[in-house]
Homo-oligomer: A and B are copies of this chain.
Amino acid sequence: MVKEQHYINTLYYQIEQTAKYCRYLGSQLFSKLNIGVSVEELVTLDTIFLHDELCQRDLAKLILKDRPATGRILSALEEKGYIVRNADTKNNRLVRKISITQSGEEILKSVTNVLKKYLEKIPHELSEEKIEEMKNNMREFRAILEKEVEMNI
């Protein structure tokens, strides 16, 4: 009945531990493959590509970073010419809407291809169905947690 006597046996901790491996794998791949962007920058580019015309705060909510961190990543990406930030309005408020540039789309596509080759090899031991199931489980669990956690973004 009381199986969860220890925090390190909870699902929360199991997910955090697994995420650490994912993070380490990501940063090791990125430095090994000499990719011109960081993992965070790729995630940001990817998110912008899939949600054009975002303002910074909405982007921050998607990549789960706070506003200062988001702004700094965007400044770096703008410096490299991968995105542009245009003054615009949202509900009559001045916001900076983000768009990916041609150069940004190219680097996104090229990095995605390089990564895909490496990442495809790894979970060969897991079936496609299993991976899809795990992804759905993650989304479902996150939807539950969303109600409990204050994100302050």
A interface residues (Cβ-Cβ under 8 A, vs B): 2, 4-26, 28, 42-43, 46-47, 49-50, 64, 112, 115-116, 119-120, 122-123, 125-126, 130-131, 134-135, 137-142, 144-146, 148-151
How far is it, in angstroms, between the C-alpha of A143 and the C-alpha of B114 when the chains are bound?
A: 24
Q: A20-B64, A141-B126 are in contact. Are A11 and B149 (CB under 8 A)?
A: no
Q: Decide: A134 and B11 in contact? CB cutoff 8 A.
A: yes
Q: Decide: A28 and B149 in contact? CB cutoff 8 A.
A: yes
Q: Decide: A19 and B21 in contact? CB cutoff 8 A.
A: no
Chain B residues lying within 8 Å of A142, measured Cβ to Cβ, are 17-18, 21
Q: A19-B16, A141-B18 are in contact. Are A50 and B11 (CB under 8 A)?
A: no
In the complex, residue of chain B having the shortest beta-carbon distance to the beta carbon of A10: B119
Q: A7-B112, A7-B115, A112-B7 are in contact. Are A14 and B145 (CB under 8 A)?
A: no
In the complex, residue of chain B having the shortest beta-carbon distance to the beta carbon of A26: B12
